[in-house]
Every structure is written in C-alpha cells, then in structure tokens.
C-alpha cells in the first residue's frame, strides 16, 4: 500500500494570518529594526505576494537580514514570545482536528511553507506536525549569512523542495494530499493527488471552482477533502 503525505501550507491555511509578515511586525514592535521603514517594506512585499508578483530572492534578502545583523540570543528569546503571543492565537480553529484526522488515517502530516525555518520551526512544533519543509536560511561561521539556500520553498521551488525531501526519505511514490489558500501554490496543487483549497484567495477560489477542487474553511469547524 502506498504511503500518504498530508501536506499543509502554513500561512493563511493552518494559521489565520501570515507568520512571515507577523514576524516583521514583531521585530518592529520590539525595536530591533527601524519600525516605520521596515513596516513599509514588509507591507509592500506582502502585497506583492498576494498579487502573485513577489520576487522571492529580493524578499528573502530583506526578510533574512535581521538574522545576520541581530544577536541570536535576542532573536531566540523574541521568537519564543512571538510564537506564544502572535501565533498561538492565530491557529485556525479547524486546523488541529484536520491534522489529527490525517494522522489517525495513517498519513504523515507535513508543513510545507515559503516562510523560513527560523520562524516556522517552533510553529510546526506548536501544531504537533513532525515534518517541516521550509525555505532554509544559510549558515556559515556559526551564524546566519542573510541568504537562503536554493531553491527557496516558493512556487515551483516548493515542488522541488518536496521532491528532494521525498527522495531523501523514500516517499517518492507517496499519495499527496495538499491544502493551501494561495494561488502561488498552483504548481504543487497540480502535482497533488488530492488538492484542496482552504479559505482561498480570490484567484485560487476562482480556479478551484473552474477545476472542481474542494474548497473548505478552517476558520470554524474542520473539514476534509
């Protein structure tokens, strides 16, 4: 019997907000970055993402710069506060039950996200998801370089990162369920055996209706495709 992966996008899917954008706001609120200027850039990149116009390499140069420039001890302490105060209240109400439903069916839950591992690692832990495939910040000399390893886990890169993980862990023939809110995830949706859109953005909602893909909400009770 083929093994099954239950793949979940994170931002605006399992969460009711975007962790990458919120992390930027948290840095600004903590006074670790130039608040008004950083907030303006953060909002600009988020708007580009929603419009499908984001240059992921340009964004990562912006988003990963604090990991290079700020003391790691301060970042780790802030991240703990961030997960407790900014993320835990934004877990979509139906998300834990949906993850558990797949787990009980014998499927392996996996979060697959463009947001970098430094931000999302403890969020996967909060959600009890054992596998995280994310954009990987580069390390060198005992710290972060401010760059990401290729490929970023975004659009076609999300498919490439998943396939690399499948080859490494022997899941090449696995059945794929995939849940996401974003039209940016169309490449992976088209690879999934069971695509399902979740609280979808307008572009993806229209595409899902045209293709007959299920469309559920996790903002209230859980559902499954």
> What pLDDT digit, counting tens, does each position of 76-87 carry?
999 999 999 999
Query: Is the pLDDT assigned to residue 186 strictly greater than 90?
Result: yes
Q: Where does the pLDDT of residue 141 fall: very low under 50, low under 70, confident under 90, or very high at 90 and above?
A: confident
Place of tokens 């690879």: 191
* Mean pLDDT across 11-17: 98
Structure tokens at 1: 């019997």
pLDDT for position 164: 98
> Which entry of 9, 181, 199, 201 is annotated as an active-site residue?
9
For the question of residue 156 being annotated catalytic, the response is no
**List of long-range contacts for 127-130, beta carbons under 8 Å, 24+ apart:** 127/14, 127/91, 127/95, 127/96, 127/99, 128/96, 128/99, 129/8, 129/99
The pLDDT mean for the chain works out to: 95
Residue 18 designated active-site: no
The answer, yes or no, to whether residue 113 has pLDDT greater than 60, is: yes
Q: Is the pLDDT of residue 181 over 90?
A: yes
Residue 97: the pLDDT is: 97
In the chain, the percentage of residues whose pLDDT exceeds 70 is 97
Helix axes 117-127, 95-104, angle to 10 degrees: 70
Distance (Å, whole) CA 200 – CA 206? 9
- In order of their start, the domains of the chain are 4-216 (3.40.50.1000)
Catalytic, out of 11, 181, 199, 201:
11
pLDDT at 193 over 80: yes
Task: Flag whether pLDDT at 40 surpasses 80.
Answer: yes
- Decide if pLDDT at 221 tops 70: no
């Amino acid at each position: 019997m083929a093994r099954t992966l239950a793949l979940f996008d994170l931002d605006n899917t399992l969460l009711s907000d975007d962790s990458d954008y919120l992390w930027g706001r948290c840095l600004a609120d903590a006074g670790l970055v130039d608040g008004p200027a950083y907030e303006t850039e953060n909002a600009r990149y988020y708007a580009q993402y929603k419009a499908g116009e984001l240059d992921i390499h340009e964004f990562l140069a912006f988003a990963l710069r604090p990991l290079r420039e700020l003391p790691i001890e301060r970042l780790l302490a802030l991240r703990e506060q961030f997960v407790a105060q900014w993320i835990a209240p934004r877990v979509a109400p139906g998300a834990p039950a949906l993850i558990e439903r797949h787990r009980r069916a014998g499927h392996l839950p996996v979060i697959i996200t463009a947001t970098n591992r430094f931000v999302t690692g403890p969020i996967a832990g909060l959600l009890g998801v054992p596998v995280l495939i994310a954009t990987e910040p580069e390390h060198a000399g005992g710290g972060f370089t401010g760059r990401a390893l290729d490929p970023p886990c975004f659009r076609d890169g999300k498919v490439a990162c998943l396939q690399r993980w499948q080859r490494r862990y022997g899941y090449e023939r696995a059945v794929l369920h995939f849940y996401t809110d974003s039209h940016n995830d169309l490449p992976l949706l088209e690879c999934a055996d069971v695509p399902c859109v979740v609280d979808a953005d307008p572009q993806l909602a229209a595409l899902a209706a045209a293709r007959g893909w299920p469309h559920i909400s996790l903002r209230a009770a859980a559902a499954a495709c």
